[in-house]
Amino acid sequence: MPAYSEKVMDHFMNPRNVGEIEDADGIGEEGNPVCGDLMTFYIKVNDNRLSDVKFKTFGCGAAIAVSSIVSEMAIGKTLEEARKITPAVVAKELGGLPKNKNHCSNLGAQALNRAIDNYLEKQGIKVKTRRRREDEDE
């Protein structure tokens, strides 16, 4: 069993912002077929800010903790600020993740970015497809 920080354990045992936003402005999904983790993020946007962020995650404790911390970090941020929530920022905020769980921090940041992309596309804003390498920011 990998050693998790207290913050990871807290977000795993008491995840924040779990659920679905029925009338979400943007929805983003990211998964890893190798480990089976799947994250879906739902966002509400008011005046270019994320007024609400919820998630549903199927996965390990690290995946749940990552989803929880990403949702907390994103609420209240502008879309531009939320884009700066990278996998490295997520892992650091959680006090680090075991090497074999770093991919979980990638999924959280990517799912949030997909939700933002989805929102922008609904607004008629062209979004450049940004495909990340799995090992980016590790």
Q: Shortest CA distance to 51 belongs to which of 8, 15, 17, 89?
A: 17
Whether 60 is catalytic: no
Whether residue 104 lies in the annotated active site: yes
User: Which residue type sits at 28?
Assistant: G
- Greatest alpha-carbon pair distance for the chain in Å reads 46
Catalytic residue among 9, 18, 27, 35: 35
The residue from 63, 69, 85, 104 that is catalytic is 104
- Going 117 to 119 to 120 to 126, the CA torsion angle's sign is positive
Going across the sheet that includes 49-58, the strands are 26-31, 38-46, 49-58
Question: Using N-to-C axis directions, what is the helix angle for 102-122 and 61-74, rounded to 10°?
Answer: 40
Which residues are catalytically annotated? Answer: 35, 104
